[in-house]
Structure 1
Amino acid sequence: MALRRGKSVPEGGTMPLVDHLRELRKRLVIAALAIVVGTVVGWIVYPAVFDFIKEPYVQGVKPLLERKGFDATLVLSGGVGSAFTFRLKLSLVLGLVISSPVWIGQIWGFVLPALHRQEKRWVYLLTGIGAPLFAGGVVLGYVVLPKGIEVLVSFAPESIQVLLSLGDYLNFVIRTVLVFGIAAQIPLVVVLLNRLGVVSARQLASARPWTIIGIFVFAAVATPSTDPLTMLFLALPMTLLYGVSELIARLTDKKRAQKQPAEIRDDEISPLD
């Protein structure tokens, strides 16, 4: 049975499948329109953003190539339409970043009706914290970017000429900053799971050694460069953030235990109702 217009969904209640699909369609349309608008803005500010993205190459990689006698010019290959494709791709990435508050808000708007009011407040709080964390991860990835490119280019023999593709360079930049940005969301995910009762602080503490090993394995696989320095730049902050999230989960569990009545041990007699 379809919901009446103006009738709100009960908090933590259910909604028919058809209404779920309509709600999903509406939010997808809003998110898509926001991305289109953001892409148009990205197309307009493309020259300034391109100079910003190219700066790590100009400051770090180009001098290294010139010292080795290589041609330090970035090459745009791929045919007549490659310049348009490159600008469109970069504009789309900028559109996703610019419109992220809108489409992230649409995701939460679709998920939140299934949560209770207290969990909703936590989701809003953690989302507000997640944005600065993501930005910090992107900035850190941008800082270590020249070192990663320098290490990869240094493997080229001096007997050959190195011509770097502009498209490959853009893919490398995007992958590096996104990996660092997403990795910075570890506290957000861990604390949210703890708040929803999926994991406890005790479980996080017992899994800490394996989690740290997993973080270093992830950093080694996810970073585009192969040098250990870039891997450490990613793994060490992730480990620190995991420790912070474990501390927050411990405080949350302690506060939750104080609100709940003391559990009756197996050797005690429970009171009769």
Structure 2
Amino acid sequence: MKFQRIGPIGAERPIVIADGRSFDLSPLTRDIDGEFLATEGISATATALAANRLTAVDTTGLRIGPPIARPQAIWCIGMNYAAHAAESGAKPPTEPVVFFKTPNTIVGPHDDILIPRGSERTDWEVELAVVIGRRARYLNSPDEAMNHIAGYTISNDVSERHFQLDRSGGQWSKGKCCETFNPLGPSLIPTNHLNPKNLRLRSFVNGDPRQNSTTADLIFDVPYLIWHLSQFAVLEPGDLVNTGTPEGVALSGRFPYLRPGDTVELDIEGIGHMRQTCRPA
């Protein structure tokens, strides 16, 4: 079972895919959002499927949107793979490095990436993204955190390194919040359908391999991150947590940065595949 939002930008409708068929979710919810997740919408969907209460729909040729409606917050973890920290010129952190992206950076998994005006170093980052399903506040342990996760998807944490590092003023947001800088999707996979401990994640630029690692190499794993964040803020249903990217980005100096016309492909085992084309803003 996997969840998607299908249709034109701003007019996506929710569907669930099961046994290779797509089913309309509109009888259960107007969207895949925090309210749907907080009210046990995933369990209700499973029940409705088992009872044959959902109508099959043909989604051939339709755009795939981001699998969740605009979250109130996008939490991002920096340098969460030791090899990526090293290629960035930093030591592995002893505590999670946290930054934010604005919700309007989110686009669909196959939508274009817009290279910003004045960009010198636009970069790709494949990441496992965690979607919060229940409010998380002062959780007692990482083990408890798993009860607050709705599921997982793929995030491309696009970054403009000149803005992020050279023009930062001491923080990273300038290089993280440009429009289209968070392609997301194609599907939301519920927690009971995917184990996040050892998933292969890869990226390609113009068909050439770039990143190839597994979530087993995370410095701070998924349960720890959700528990840790809950000690400092309240995570709300529908919030997104980007868990960090492995080595193999352009910042390493081994690869050229993105230019208009380039294509970026990313995949994570058990979730799916996304592909974006770079265009000038």
TM-score band (shorter)?
Answer: under 0.3
Structure number with greater Rg is 1
Give the structure-2-normalised TM-score: 0.20
Which structure has the highest strand share of the two?
A: 2
Which structure has the highest helix share of the two?
A: 1
Larger relative CO (CA 8 A, sep 6+): 1 or 2? Answer: 2
Give the structure-1-normalised TM-score: 0.20
